[in-house]
Amino acid sequence: MLKDIFNKRKQRYATLTSADVAERLGRTKQPEVSVPEGLMAKCKRCGEMTFTKELEKNLKTCPRCDYHYTLNAEERIKMTLDDGRFFEYDAGMTAVDPLHFPDYPAKVEREQTKTGLKEAVVTGEGTIGGYPVVIAVMDSTYFMGSMGSVVGEKITRAIEAALAKRYPLIIFTASGGARMQEGIYSLMQMAKTSVALNKLSDAKGLYIAVNTYPTTGGVTASFAMLGDINIAEPGALIGFAGRRIIEQTIRQKLPDDFQTAEFLLKHGMLDMVVPRKDMRQTLATLLELHGGVTGGE
């Protein structure tokens, strides 16, 4: 008898829908709320949700914890140069496949379509606080900002333009390091850019390096750390090899803040850490202090 009652109740509850259950429990099902894609952004550090438009007004820094979101080259140029006015150099330069690396041309085409860029760095000239500058801005959205032969060539040409025009040079770095698909050709860019910067230095030219998240590998080992003034954004990851590789090599635990901009400032590898909201004014002040135009005796 009890078994028959149990089976009847089991059959009845098996046919209940979630709406029936909610009604019997005295609840009403809440309508699902959908947020349009791109309307809001979640901070990677504190989890704060911010409207995208408000985030852009705040120069893509979290209003709660001041986390600095990564910027692409276009955003960086608009934030840095006067009224965003910019004359680009070598816009058509694009990577070739010197080592015939498997699928490399297809990957280059994919990155160009995704980002709208020809390469991982944009170079050109503009003004900051009225002072003319040659500027190079790396973009980590393109191949993680990796340095191939075109990146090295464009930066070298920018250095040579600063030397010829006697303009100060500013490079914003954002890179995962050398581009493996170009092998030795990529590694040679470390020497090429360093030699060009040495010529600029001999001519008493001013070079300001601004390290942003992330600046690693061969870029850190060359032009990123060769500035007359080395600056970084707060919290920027700056280093050569990765934390795990270093710990395995030296068999020691590294400090929690290792390879951050603040750690490098404390240990003398940076001159200052500058929040993004103060970056443009800081650069303008430095240019004013150095006379705006450099390269003369």
Annotated binding site: 43, 46, 62, 65
Q: How far is residue 100's CA from residue 268's CA, in Å, rounded to a whole number?
A: 42
Three-state SS for 18? helix
Q: Which long-range contacts (CB under 8 A, 24 or more apart) does 18-21 make?
A: none
The DSSP line for 79-94 is: HHSGGG--EEESTT--
Annotated binding site for Zn(2+): 43, 46, 62, 65
With contact defined as beta carbons under 8 Å apart, do 126 and 158 qualify?
no
Helices marked H in the chain — which ranges?
Answer: 2-14, 18-24, 52-57, 73-80, 104-115, 149-165, 183-202, 217-220, 243-250, 261-266, 276-289
Q: How many CB atoms lie within 10 A of CB 248?
A: 11
Q: How many CB atoms lie within 10 A of CB 266?
A: 12
The DSSP line for 217-276 is: HHHHTTGGG--SEEEE-TT-BB-SS-HHHHHHHHTSPPPTTTTBHHHHHHTTS-SEE--H
Rounded to 10°, the helix 73-80/276-289 angle is 60
